Amino acid sequence: MTRDSADADSFFGEMRPIGAAVAAKLNHHAPLDAAERAALDAFLGRNVRRLHDRALLIEQGVAPTEISIVLEGWACRFTDDGGGRRRIVALYLPGDVCDFDAFLTPAMDQSIAAIGGARVAGINRSALNELARKQPKISQALWWESLAAAAVQRAWTVNVGRRDALPKVAHLFCELYFRLSLVGMVEDGRLSFPLTQIDIADACGLTPVHVNRVLKELRAAGTLSLADRYLTIHDLPAMTSDAGFDPSYFPLHSVQRTPANAPVITPV
């Protein structure tokens, strides 16, 4: 079974610009004007790959030649567990950069694979240099993005630590709900959800069997529905309460940020 969602290609009816999700994300850090959005689209459109379910974007041990940005679909970063199971350490949604460290590491410490089919833009070193030179605001927003990703990674470290199973799963769902909301991919509490129960288990540090039981419990409580690769949150307050979810770890309030308040160590 390939799990490629039938409508992955047409989720936005091909009407949305190629970098819509990326622009939406970066916009939370620094508002982009029409010209900048167009430039971003042009950069992202240069080198687009379509990947099927489980296809590797980047393999552990290899030195990448480009950084990858998810345009459509999901991807996950993982290490192999030796027993065929994966230890998922991060999930990448539309608009996310998978590997900020691409040009730093001599070899990737983990692999990244598509989940349920994805479209990914690759940006090589010279293109990125060009982007940094011509579009400083965009490259600055990318720097902020890397710090936001670090905050999410810390939240995962907390979540995967010693907690009961149900809060773990609920927290994952809350985070995904929140992150997808930021790029306009949640409608009426309903979102495309390509993860299998095995994937959820690998991301939460649980067994698939127990994830199944947790889901049963969440369904019985009327908190959510999960079927046919779609997740619907029926009771968001119950969900966030179960999860102990506090979205304040997303450093996104850039809208209120004044220029004088701008960060440093950024491309000039």
Partner DNA sequence: CGAGTTATTGATCGCGATCAACATGGGTGG
Partner DNA sequence: CCACCCATGTTGATCGCGATCAATAACTCG
| List of residues contacting DNA (CB under 7 A) | 1-4, 162, 164-166, 196-198, 205-210, 212-213, 215-216, 227
d(C-alpha 24, C-alpha 162), whole Å? 34
The answer to whether residue 101 forms part of the interface with a second copy (CB under 8 A) is: yes
CA distance to 38, 162, 189, per residue, from 86 (Å): 38, 19, 29
Indicate whether 209 belongs to the interface with a second copy (CB under 8 A): no
Q: Would you say 131 and 81 are in contact if contact means Cβ atoms under 8 Å apart?
A: no
Query: Stretches 32-40, 68-76, 145-153, 217-225: which one binds a second copy (CB under 8 A)?
Result: 145-153
Phi, psi of 235, rounded to the nearest 5 degrees: -135, 85
- Let me know if 8 is exposed, middle or buried by CB neighbors in 10 A (0-12, 13-18, 19+): buried
DSSP 73-90: EEEEEEEE-SSS-EEEEE
12 binds a second copy (CB under 8 A): no
Among the listed residues 149, 198, 221, 236, the single contact to a second copy using CB under 8 A: 149
Question: Quick check: 100 binds a second copy (CB under 8 A)?
Answer: yes
Of these partners, a second copy, DNA, none, which one is at the site of residue 184 (CB under 5 to 8 Å by kind)? none
Q: DSSP H helical segments within the chain, as ranges? A: 20-27, 34-45, 125-134, 136-160, 165-182, 197-204, 208-220, 236-243
Binding site partner of 90, from a second copy, DNA, none, Cβ cut-off 5-8 A by kind: a second copy
For residue 4, the partner it binds in DNA, a second copy, none, with Cβ less than 5 to 8 A by kind, is: DNA
| 52 touches, from DNA, a second copy, none (C-beta below 5 to 8 Å by class) | none
Residue 27, both tokens: 């916009």
**Using the rule CB under 8 A, is 105 a contact of a second copy?**
yes
1: partner contacted, choices a second copy, DNA, none (Cβ within 5-8 A by kind): DNA
> Under DSSP, is residue 231 helix (H, G, I), strand (E, B) or coil?
strand
Positions that interact with a second copy (CB under 8 A): 77, 79, 87, 89-90, 100-101, 103-107, 109-110, 125, 128-129, 132, 139, 142-144, 146-151, 153-158, 160-162, 205-206, 248-249, 251, 253, 256-257, 261-268
